[in-house]
């Protein structure tokens, strides 16, 4: 896990700072980003980062202290930002809740730090409280497109507009609070690619430790709540948010090779090809190389032996899913051989497909999958041919009719058949449901922009 926002230099940590850093490592928090909130604390943040391997620093002036940001302070921040372990400018922003600095002074300080971040090519850590319109307008005006809305407390519209500008959304302890329904709703909706987490220690201690001083080792509680809200495991949240934090702050190396087998929750997914006979407008392949923090851009299509080694014991998973960044049934021979191998070892097999397998191979392939595939999930993705053509851009003529025929044939050969749609703009989910009901198969709606 990575704690993207804590204040290790604060006096609350004077009695046991070294223990706090050690406890974080022991709890699996591999990186701590300690945040400067004025010139003095920025200097201290840099000193702590220089002295401790897992600690990185940001330098900036908080809106409460906005009046401090004169030319001399900007020059000092610039000097501090040259340190190799300084990864961002901030925290800066606007706080119209406490209004501890006059609003025009806050705005000037915010603008100046955003300009500094652009000049130094660093991301920005943004604090915004009850200042949605001005925050978004100032970010937009300065053209900043790398940063994080820390301890997010706005509404979904604000989150969407911030993400549209390229900013990450970070959740802290409040997402664990009982009465934080609206925030929890937003935390369940933010796409994986924009999600971060933090403690904001020593503040905002998560449930069940409220009342104590917060510290980075408590991040696991926020991770756990995010996992519950998003229907994934705590390990998934740790991986997704760590990857995002590393990408935003440029910490460490991104994974160099596409994963051919990757775990989400208690299932194992196989990534056997990046090719597809569709080019769906909502396909994750066109806007990200990652699913739930797993890098999936293949540099080659894996062979049978390679996949067996990557799977290990198939019975260790709830199911093994042929999925990936492409259409698995393009590699029918490999799917059949591997599915048989998985079944022989007590595994359960599912195929996620665009339903064009019969068109691709020019014959009814479903009898060939009988006995080795337990479940098939077929993307319908449209209520009619015209919508399918527009949204999925199939290579083959008559693809929608082909998908419908494939669904009918699947019922004869595969024990469980599910038809799925993505609730993307233009999809009439209810009419799709009627199509599935008429075909007498299960129906599932996948959320737009949520993959895995
Ligand atoms: S069918 Fe699936 S893999 Fe192919 S383009 Fe559409 S969403 Fe992407």
Average confidence (pLDDT) per 10 residues, the chain, 452 residues: 98 98 98 98 98 98 97 97 97 97 98 96 96 95 91 94 88 97 96 93 97 98 98 95 93 78 95 90 81 86 93 97 90 96 98 96 97 97 95 92 98 97 91 97 83 58
| pLDDT value, residue 285 | 80
Joined tokens for residue 290: 């990652």
Q: Ligand 1 mean position to 423 CA, how many Å?
A: 14
Same domain, 9 and 39: yes
Does residue 307 fall inside a structural domain? yes
Domain total of the chain: 2
Token digits for 113? 């730090």
Last-in-domain residue among 225, 249, 273: 249
Residue 451 located in a structural domain: no
Domain that holds residue 172: 2-249
The 3-class secondary structure across 249-287, one letter per residue, is HCCCCCCCCCCCEEEECCEEEECCCCCCCCCCCCCHHHC
Centre of ligand 1 from the C-alpha of residue 415, in Å:
24
294 sits in which H/E element: strand 294-295
285 CA: nearest ligand 1 atom: 8
Check if 382 has its Cβ closer than 6 Å to any atom of ligand 1: no
Which atom belonging to ligand 1 lies closest to the Cα atom of 279? 5
Q: How far is the CA of 447 from the centre of ligand 1 (A)?
A: 14
In this structure, are 122 and 237 located in the same domain? yes
Residue nearest to atom 8 of ligand 1 (CA): 283
Distances (CA, A) of 262 to 248, 293, 320, 325: 23, 10, 10, 12
Tell me, yes or no, whether 207 and 325 share the same domain. no
**Residue 158 pLDDT:** 94
- In-domain check, residue 452: no
Binding site membership of 433 for ligand 1 (Cβ less than 6 Å)? no
Residues 83 and 200 in one domain: yes
Match 């229907």 to its residue by tokens.
231
**235 and 286, same structural domain?**
no
| Residue-by-residue DSSP string for 372-431 | T-SEEEEE---SSHHHHHHHH--SSTTHHHHHHHHHHHHHHH-SEEEEEEE--TT--HHH
* Confidence at residue 451, expressed as pLDDT on a 0 to 100 scale: 58
Judge if the beta carbon of residue 244 lies within 6 A of ligand 1: no
* Residue finishing a domain among 226, 249, 272: 249
Does residue 124 lie within any of the structural domains?
yes
Q: Which protein residue's CA is at the shortest distance from atom 6 of ligand 1?
A: 280
Residue listed under structure tokens 């230099």: 9
Residue 258 CA to ligand 1 center (angstroms) comes to: 17
Which residue owns the Cα nearest ligand 1 atom 3? Answer: 326
What's the CA-to-centroid distance between 242 and ligand 1, angstroms?
A: 27
| CA 137/CA 158 separation, integer angstroms | 11
Give the CATH number for residue 90: 3.20.20.140
Query: Which of 284, 285, 394 for a ligand 1 pocket mutation test, highest count of atoms within 8 Å of Cβ?
Result: 285
Q: Is residue 255 part of a domain?
A: no
- Joined together, the tokens standing for residue 301 give 């299509």
Torsion of the alpha carbons at 180, 186, 191 and 197, rounded to the nearest 10:
-30
Residues 102 and 76 in one domain: yes
Question: Do 57 and 201 reside in the same domain of the chain?
Answer: yes
State the pLDDT at residue 324: 66
The pLDDT of residue 63 is 98
Are 132 and 9 contained in the same domain? yes
CATH number for the domain that contains residue 283: 3.20.20.70
The pTM assigned to this predicted structure is: 0.74
- Ligand 1 atom index nearest CA of 284: 8
Answer whether residue 254 is part of any domain. Answer: no
Separation CA 184–CA 225 (nearest Å): 9
User: Dihedral angle at the C-alpha atoms of 61, 65, 70, 76, nearest 10 degrees?
Assistant: -40
Which is the closest atom of ligand 1 to the Cα of 379?
1
Are 184 and 319 found together in one domain?
no
pLDDT of amino acid 255? 57
Q: Is the CB of 124 under 6 A from ligand 1?
A: no
Question: Are residues 49 and 140 both part of a single domain?
Answer: yes
Indicate if 235 and 332 belong to the same structural domain: no
Q: Label residue 74 left, alpha or beta by phi (over 0 means left) and psi (-120 to 50 means alpha).
A: alpha
410 lines ligand 1 (CB under 6 A): no
Q: Could you tell me if residue 406 is inside a domain?
A: yes
Ligand 1 pocket member 393 (CB < 6 A):
no
Single residue among 249, 283, 316 that ends a domain in this structure:
249
Both 208 and 298 in a single domain? Answer: no
**Cβ of 210 below 6 Å from ligand 1:** no
Q: Identify whether 256 is part of a domain.
A: no
pLDDT, one tens digit per residue, over 47-64 is 999 999 999 999 999 999
Q: Which atom of ligand 1 is found nearest the CA of 354?
A: 1
């Amino acid at each position: 896990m990575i704690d993207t926002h804590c204040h290790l230099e604060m006096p609350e940590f004077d009695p046991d700072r070294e223990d706090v850093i050690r406890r974080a490592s022991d709890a699996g928090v591999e990186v701590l980003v300690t945040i400067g909130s004025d010139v003095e604390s920025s200097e201290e943040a840099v000193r702590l980062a220089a002295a401790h391997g897992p600690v990185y620093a940001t330098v900036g002036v908080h809106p409460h202290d906005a009046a401090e940001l004169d030319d001399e302070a900007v020059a000092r921040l610039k000097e501090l930002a040259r340190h190799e372990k300084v990864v961002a400018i901030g925290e800066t922003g606007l706080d119209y809740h406490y209004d501890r600095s006059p609003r025009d002074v806050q705005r000037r300080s915010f603008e100046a730090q955003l300009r500094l971040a652009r000049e130094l090519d660093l991301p920005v850590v943004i604090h915004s409280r009850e200042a949605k319109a001005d925050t978004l307008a100032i970010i937009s005006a300065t053209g900043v497109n790398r940063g994080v809305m820390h301890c997010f407390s706005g509404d979904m519209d604000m989150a969407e507009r911030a993400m549209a500008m390229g900013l990450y959304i970070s959740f802290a302890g409040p997402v664990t609070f009982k009465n934080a329904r609206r925030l929890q709703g937003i935390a369940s909706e933010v796409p994986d690619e924009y999600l971060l987490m933090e403690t904001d220690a020593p503040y905002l201690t998560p449930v069940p430790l409220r009342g104590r001083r917060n510290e980075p080792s408590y991040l696991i509680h926020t991770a756990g709540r995010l996992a519950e809200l998003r229907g994934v495991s705590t390990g998934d949240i740790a991986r997704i948010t760590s990857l995002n934090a590393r990408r935003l702050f440029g910490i460490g190396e991104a994974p160099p090779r596409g994963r051919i087998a990757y775990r989400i929750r208690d299932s194992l997914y196989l990534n056997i090809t990046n090719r597809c006979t569709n080019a769906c407008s909502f396909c994750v392949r066109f806007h990200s190389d990652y699913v739930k923090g797993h890098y999936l851009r293949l540099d080659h299509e894996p062979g049978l032996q390679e996949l067996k080694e990557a799977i290990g014991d198939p019975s260790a998973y709830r199911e093994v899913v042929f999925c990936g960044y492409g259409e698995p049934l393009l590699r029918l021979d490999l799917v059949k051989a591997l599915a048989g191998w998985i079944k022989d070892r007590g595994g359960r097999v599912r195929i996620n497909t665009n339903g064009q397998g019969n068109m691709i191979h020019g014959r009814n392939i479903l009898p060939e999958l009988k006995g080795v595939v337990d479940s098939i999930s077929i993307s319908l993705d449209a209520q009619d041919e015209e919508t399918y053509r527009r949204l999925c851009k199939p290579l083959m003529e008559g693809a929608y009719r082909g998908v419908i025929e494939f669904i009918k044939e699947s019922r004869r050969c595969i024990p469980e058949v599910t038809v799925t749609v993505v609730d993307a703009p233009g999809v009439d989910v209810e009419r799709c449901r009627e199509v599935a009901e008429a075909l007498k198969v299960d129906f599932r709606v996948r959320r737009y922009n949520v993959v895995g």
